[in-house]
């Protein structure tokens, strides 16, 4: 099966050259000239790898990579940065902010192909090693991350992508309190203006869907609790006695 590479590059001649070389090498290739186009392309069809130019107009490639790493649905999407920056500090910064590898300009097309194949091989090995962790379970609630499927005692929950991201985050560490800011960054990585009210609204939507599903299934759904002044958590079991900071909203 062909691997799909998204090439994000604002200079059309360079973009065309890379697309031609990767297509000849057997990859399926799509293109984006800027960060907004790249976001839309990924939302429409998540690629197997993104080849991302650092110096994009508007939002930089580095910032875009950071946003993708903060979002649940793109957290593990491989990214290779293409950059004219050659200082070691710049390369380290790119890797620390989420890039799997980097290629410096001017580049050799064979080198790009080799680096893409190397990153995809590493990710395939990582995926195989993590296969046993693709299923999350909190009581009767299960999340199959590969299929993006949520079941409560066998009954499916129809969730929006942001509802899914929120629920997956909470279920990744049951009983752990996630700060409101952490939730905002995970659910709305593309926004700097997400508020506590946005989080509260989506918690309400999730609770409503969990309640309806629990009524159909005849079981008690895991409880999403507000920990006043801190954030939210999902309980693996309902507490007999709530702590001093615990309230429902």
Q: Is 91 in the same domain as 107?
A: yes
Q: What is the CATH number of the domain that holds 56?
A: 3.40.50.2300
Q: Average pLDDT of 233-246?
A: 53
Whether residue 219 sits in one domain with residue 196: yes
Of 76-85, 95-104, 189-198, 225-234, give the range with the top mean pLDDT.
225-234
Range scoring the smallest mean pLDDT among 117-126, 137-146, 160-169, 216-225: 117-126
pLDDT bucket at 239, cuts 50 / 70 / 90: very low
Q: In whole angstroms, what is the distance from residue 2 CA to residue 25 CA? A: 10
Q: In this structure, are 13 and 58 located in the same domain?
A: yes
- Report pLDDT for 233: 94
Whether the pLDDT of residue 199 is over 50: the answer is yes
For residue 235, pLDDT over 50 is answered with yes
Residue linked to tokens 């590059």: 9
Across the beta sheet with 49-53, what order do the strands follow?
Answer: 28-32, 4-8, 49-53, 79-83, 101-104
pLDDT for 101 equals 84
Q: Are residues 100 and 138 in the same domain?
A: no
Select the more confidently predicted residue: 212 or 189: 212
**Structural domain count, the chain:** 2
CA angle 170, 186, 119 (to 5 degrees): 105
Q: How many CB atoms lie within 10 A of CB 124?
A: 11
Reported pTM: 0.54
Tell me: do 21 and 49 sit in the same domain.
yes
Does residue 161 share a domain with residue 87?
no
Does position 249 have pLDDT exceeding 50, yes or no? no
Q: Tell me the CATH number at 138.
A: 1.10.10.10
Most confident of 13-17, 97-101, 138-142, 172-176: 13-17
End-to-end Cα spacing for the chain: 48
In this predicted structure, the answer to whether residue 92 has a pLDDT above a threshold of 70 is no
Mean pLDDT of 234-243: 53
Parent domain of 240: 134-247
Q: Are residues 115 and 139 in the same domain?
A: no
- What does DSSP say about strands 79-83 and 101-104: parallel, antiparallel, or unpaired? parallel
Q: Are 226 and 247 in contact (CB under 8 A)?
A: yes
Residues above pLDDT 90, as percent of the chain: 41
Give the chain's largest Cα–Cα span.
65
Residue 120 and residue 156 in one domain: no
User: Is the domain of 143 the same as that of 123?
Assistant: no
Q: Tell me how far CA of residue 73 lies from CA of 114, 168, 169, 171, 194, in angstroms.
A: 26, 10, 11, 15, 18
Residue 131 has pLDDT above 60, yes or no: no
HSE of 78, CA atoms in CB hemisphere, 13 A: 26
Residues 154 and 240 in one domain: yes
Boundary (domain end) residue, out of 102, 130, 158: 130
Considering the domain architecture, whether residues 53 and 10 belong to the same structural domain is answered as yes
- Indicate if 92 and 179 belong to the same structural domain: no
Mean of pLDDT values over 81-100: 67
């Amino acid at each position: 099966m062909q691997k799909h590479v998204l090439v994000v590059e604002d200079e059309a001649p360079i973009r065309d050259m890379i697309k031609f070389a990767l297509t000849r090498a057997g990859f399926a290739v799509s293109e984006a000239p800027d960060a907004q186009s790249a976001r839309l392309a990924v939302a429409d069809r998540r690629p197997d790898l993104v080849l991302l130019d650092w110096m994009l107009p508007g939002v930089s490639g580095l910032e875009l990579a950071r946003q993708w790493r903060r979002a649940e649905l793109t957290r593990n999407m491989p990214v290779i940065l293409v950059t004219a920056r050659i200082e070691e500090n710049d390369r380290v910064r790119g890797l620390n902010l989420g890039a799997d590898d980097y290629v410096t300009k001017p580049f050799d097309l064979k080198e790009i192909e080799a680096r893409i194949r190397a990153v995809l091989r590493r990710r395939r090995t990582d995926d195989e090693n993590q296969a046993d962790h693709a299923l999350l379970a909190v009581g009767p609630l299960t999340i199959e991350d590969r299929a993006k499927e949520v079941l409560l005692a066998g009954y499916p929950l129809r969730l929006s992508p942001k509802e899914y991201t929120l629920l997956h985050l909470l279920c990744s560490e049951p009983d752990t309190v996630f700060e409101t800011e952490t939730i905002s960054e995970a659910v709305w990585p593309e926004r700097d203006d997400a508020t506590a009210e946005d989080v509260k609204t989506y918690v309400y939507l999730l609770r409503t869907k969990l309640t309806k599903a629990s009524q159909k299934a005849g079981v008690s759904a895991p409880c999403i609790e507000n920990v006043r002044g801190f954030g939210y958590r999902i309980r693996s079991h309902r507490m007999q006695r709530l702590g001093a900071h615990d309230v429902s909203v």
